[in-house]
Chains A and B, each alone.
Chain A
Amino acid sequence: AQTVTQSQPEMSVQEAETVTLSCTYDTSESNYYLFWYKQPPSRQMILVIRQEAYKQQNATENRFSVNFQKAAKSFSLKISDSQLGDTAMYFCAFVGFGNEKLTFGTGTRLTIIP
């Protein structure tokens, strides 16, 4: 069984600063996908970024980038130039290749301070 661990229940940073959210996971699978989802106060789950495990290059999406360390089973999210709209719960998630069931971490509540 897979597990996803987010060790930071809450974080807060000043607007325009950079923040890194941690995620570690445990799996015996070699092929899988990792995701970061954002859940703002509206509670709509929004995909922030996705990483395929077979790709060595770290995924980036504008201000969002990941540091994927496959050997260490670590998948951190870096948000650059943070904005007030980044305030949300962030969930790290895992799905095995060929599987469809997502395994979620417990989430990190991020607050951007004006």
Chain B
Amino acid sequence: GAVVSQHPSWVICKSGTSVKIECRSLDFQATTMFWYRQFPKQSLMLMATSNEGSKATYEQGVEKDKFLINHASLTLSTLTVTSAHPEDSSFYICSAHLVTQGGTEAFFGQGTRLTVV
């Protein structure tokens, strides 16, 4: 199947600094990618839809100035957590969808565990 690579898998940063997380579709092009946040023992919460060549679409309640999304190419989307604070500590997951004759399927990155200290 298709592969989505997310990097880094974990990161620790100091409060007030910014962290960039990359999401790459390795063997297919993705005009749309998705960023999720997952709290411990909870489901995936959609943060935003990343659109290649245009602005991201944020879900209600997600601060667009804190979570900057850039989708500059058909294989790369980045999520930058700006001025990170301890409450931003979480597990972040990206996904890209592949549409084939058989239908649509989502492929997920490995996730990034962010710890802000």
Query: How many residues of chain B are within 8 Å of chain A by beta carbon?
Result: 21
Please state if B43 and A100 are interface contacts (CB–CB under 8 Å): no
A95 to B38, CA, bound (A): 19
Please state if A101 and B91 are interface contacts (CB–CB under 8 Å): no
The total number of A-B Cβ pairs within 8 Å is 48
Which residue from chain A places its CB closest to the CB of B111 in the assembled complex? A43
A: interface residue count bin: 20 to 34
A93 to B105, CA, bound (A): 11
In the bound complex, residues from chain B placing their C-beta under 8 Å from that of A95 are: 104, 106
Please state if A104 and B103 are interface contacts (CB–CB under 8 Å): no
**Quick one: which of A27-54 are within 8 Å of B by CB?**
33, 35, 42-45, 47, 50, 52
In the bound complex, residues from chain A placing their C-beta under 8 Å from that of B32 are: 100
Interchain nearest-CB distance for B108 vs A (Å): 4
CB within 8 Å for A50 and B93 given contacts A104-B43, A106-B42, A107-B43: no
In the bound complex, residues from chain B placing their C-beta under 8 Å from that of A102 are: 34, 46, 95, 106
CB within 8 Å for A106 and B43 given contacts A43-B111, A47-B106, A100-B97: yes
B residues near A (Cβ < 8 Å) are 1, 32, 34, 38, 41-44, 46, 49, 91, 93, 95, 97, 103-106, 108, 110-111
